[in-house]
Amino acid sequence: MFDFIVIGAAQAGLSMAYYLDKLDQNYLVVDKEDEIGASWLNRWDSLKLFTPSEFNNLPGMDFPAKKGHYPNKNQVASYFKEYVERFNIRVKLNVFIESVKKENNVFTLKHDNGVFQAKNVVVATGPFHIPYTPSFSKKISKDIFQIHSNYYKNPHQLKEGPTMVVGAGDSGFQILNEVSQTDRITYFSGATDVRVLPQEILGKTLWWWFTKTGFLSFSKKTWLGKKLSQTKQPIIGTDVRAILNRKNVIPVGNTTNAEDNTVFTESKEINNLKNVIWATGYRPNFSWIDGLELTKDSYPKHNRGISNIKGLYFIGLPWLHTRGSATLGGTKKDSKYLAEYIKETINKSA
């Protein structure tokens, strides 16, 4: 019987473990992957954070890089491993939690090799659960190679020939940039009138300005926070206009349908594709938690990470409290808040 089981060993789970250790709680962090940092290592090879190192700190340990450095995925994974070692965080890998159910004030967590029991559970699995592709992708010929950005590593995975990148988020434009540099015809499907913010303004990093203006600290319950949460995330640090102006990049608007070797878009029918990369995001999946109330977007209903089920908490979700809640450096504020709430709960029950 554990006091806490934390599900997920990335930034949110490790931050929570740090504070649970400070509270002298008997906890265990479990993760379905086979190594610490795998959730980052599994992303595409050229991935870099758009937040500089000084804003990527977990509680108690600065990110080991000079100020202004934008870490790559390998450096993030190494940081997590060092963090686990420094604070002796108790982690059990290769554990996939299949279900969580509370009965008689005890949570039972079923996994592929048995069960855990705990008085409390913290879900730190993040927002990226089920890679989403539109249903008509199944109508595309098997001769065309399709891959979601979740599994994309580099252009060497692709067939020679014209490629389409679908998706106008950070991932879509970063992958479009890389693929189009191979000189192949590269179609881009998605909005081109996106907001773009540079990584530095007047000699200061964008994140420095965000911190000074309080941009990342507005609660989603405030008027401004509600407005910000409803706006589309800007593209940060990628020169979208320069990429779209390349001679081999052809914007085609949204993709609407497909049939065999033809993909239909708002501006043209494309019938010479060899590859499609779907940078079309993810869908949340919390159906494995019994009795959990969900929003219309299928995210847990909660009050700053405190769910409708007593003893069940969430950390690392987008807009858990502020825009910064799901960032590497921002999760520590939410985990500290939860730790203080948990401490008060423990004291009341003592």
Q: What is the domain-level CATH number for residue 116?
A: 3.50.50.60
Q: Report helix, strand or coil for 144.
A: coil
Tell me, yes or no, whether 52 and 112 share the same domain: yes
Q: Is the distance from CB of 31 to CB of 53 less than 8 angstroms? A: no
Highest mean pLDDT (candidates 62-66, 98-102, 204-208): 98-102
Phi–psi pair at 18, nearest 5 degrees: -55, -45
Copy the structure tokens of residue 28: 């265990």
Tell me, yes or no, whether 158 and 254 share the same domain: yes
How confident is the model at residue 199, as a pLDDT? 64
- Secondary structure of 204-265 in the HEC alphabet? EEHHHHHHHHCCCCCCCCCHHHHHHHCCCCCEECCCHHHHHCCCCEEECCCEEEEEECEEEE
Tell me, yes or no, whether 88 and 123 share the same domain: yes
Q: Report helix, strand or coil for 86.
A: helix
Tell me, yes or no, whether 140 and 186 share the same domain: yes
Radius of gyration of the chain (CA): 22
Q: Is the distance from CB of 246 to CB of 184 less than 8 angstroms? A: no
Question: Considering all CA atoms of the chain, what is the largest pairwise distance in Å, rounded to the nearest integer?
Answer: 69
Q: Report helix, strand or coil for 187.
A: strand
Tell me, yes or no, whether 121 and 80 share the same domain: yes
How confident is the model at residue 330, as a pLDDT? 81
Tell me, yes or no, whether 45 and 119 share the same domain: yes
- Per-residue b/e over 111-122, b at no fewer than 16 CB within 10 Å? beeeebebbbbb
Write down the mean pLDDT value for the chain: 89
The pLDDT-based confidence of 216 (bands split at 50, 70, 90) is low
Partners of residue 205 on adjacent β-strands: 200
The pLDDT-based confidence of 54 (bands split at 50, 70, 90) is confident
Q: Is the distance from CB of 223 to CB of 217 less than 8 angstroms? A: no
- Is residue 121 one of the residues assigned to a domain? yes
Tell me, yes or no, whether 306 and 323 share the same domain: yes
Total residue count of the chain as it appears in this document: 350
Tell me, yes or no, whether 34 and 46 share the same domain: yes
CA distance 204 to 201: 5
Tell me, yes or no, whether 344 and 302 share the same domain: yes
Q: How many domains does the chain have?
A: 2
Q: Which of 333, 342, 326, 319 is nearest to 8 (CA)?
A: 326
Residue ranges making up the domain that contains 238: 132-195+232-278
Copy the structure tokens of residue 7: 């599900």
Q: Is the distance from CB of 336 to CB of 32 less than 8 angstroms? A: no
Tell me, yes or no, whether 136 and 273 share the same domain: yes
Of the listed ranges 78-87, 93-102, 223-232, 314-323, the least confidently predicted one is 223-232
- Is residue 202 one of the residues assigned to a domain? no
Tell me, yes or no, whether 49 and 139 share the same domain: no
How confident is the model at residue 318, as a pLDDT? 78
CA distance 153 to 156: 8
Helix (H) or strand (E) holding 28: strand 27-30
